[in-house]
Amino acid sequence: MKAVRLGLTLVALIVFMGAADAESAEGGPPTAPPPAKAAAQAQAQESPAPKAAPAPAPSSVAIPDRVSALEKQNLVLTEDIGKARLETRTRLEALAKQQAEQIQKLNQELAQQRAQMEADRKKQQERNRNVWIAVGVLALGVIAAN
C-alpha cells in the first residue's frame, strides 16, 4: 500500500515538474506589447509602400490604331499556327510512311526466315528418313546373315 502511494506521488511530482519546465521554456506568461508599438505595427502593415500612380488611359485616337495592330498580330499568329500545323502534319505523314516501309521490310525478312526454316525442316526430315531406312536395311542384313 505504501508502494502504491509512493508511486502515485512520484507520478504527480513528474507531471507538475514537466508543466513547470514547459512554462519556463516559453518564457512565462505572454506579455502584451505596448499600445504605441502595436499602433505603429498596424500602420506599417496597412501601408507598406506608396502605390504607383495609375497608368494614364489611352486616348480615343490611339484605339483604332491599336485595334488594327492587334488584328494584324492575330493574322500573323494564325498564319504561324497554320504553318506549324502543316509542318507537323507533314512530319507525321513522313514518319507514318517510314514506319510502314519498316514494317513491310520486317515482314519480308520474316517471310524469308520462315521459308528458310521450312526448307531446313524438310531437309532434316529427309535426312532422318534416309537414316531410318539405312538402319532398317542394316537390321534386315544382320537378320538375314544369321
Per-residue pLDDT reduced to its tens digit, 50-75? 555 555 555 666 888 999 999 999 99
For the chain, the domains span: 69-146
Give the chain's mean pLDDT. 82
Amino acid identity, residue 73?
Answer: Q
Per-residue pLDDT reduced to its tens digit, 19-52? 666 555 555 555 544 555 655 565 655 555 555 5
Helix (H) or strand (E) holding 99: helix 62-145
* Lookup: cell for 53: 500612380
| pTM for the predicted model, two decimal places | 0.43
